[in-house]
């Protein structure tokens, strides 16, 4: 019985990991980072062939840079909203 509960727990955490990795990182972070990458590279990256669409199956390497930039932008925004950048002497 312990093995069964352990496997259920592993499956639950795999689903949570999938939700965080695929839905948040590959979708939300990508679409936040995409305009930033376009702006910084003056429209050269990502090219039109590298744009990730929700129903399109591509390799895992596509758009990772945009997703990382989006994640960093979301972290900086969260820190700013929490008041971590305000200077108090």
Using CB atoms within 10 A of its CB, is residue 62 exposed (0-12), middle (13-18) or buried (19+)? middle
- In tens, the pLDDT along 38-52 reads 899 887 777 666 555
The overall average pLDDT reported for the chain is 80
14 lies in some domain = yes
30 lies in some domain = yes
86 lies in some domain = no
Q: How far apart are CA 74 and CA 89, in angstroms?
A: 27
16 lies in some domain = yes
Domain count, the chain: 1
Establish whether the linkage from the previous residue to 46 is cis, with ω within 30° of 0. Answer: yes
88 lies in some domain = no
Domain residues for the domain of 51 are 2-81
89 lies in some domain = no
| pTM of the full structure | 0.67
């Amino acid at each position: 019985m312990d093995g069964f509960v352990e496997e259920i727990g592993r499956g639950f955490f795999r689903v949570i990991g999938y939700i965080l990795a695929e839905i948040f990182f590959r979708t939300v972070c990508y679409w936040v980072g995409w305009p930033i990458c376009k702006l910084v590279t003056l429209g050269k990256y990502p090219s039109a062939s590298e744009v990730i669409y929700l129903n399109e199956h591509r390799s895992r390497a596509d758009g990772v840079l945009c997703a990382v930039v989006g994640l960093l932008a979301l972290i900086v925004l969260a820190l700013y909203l929490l008041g971590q950048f305000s200077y108090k002497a």
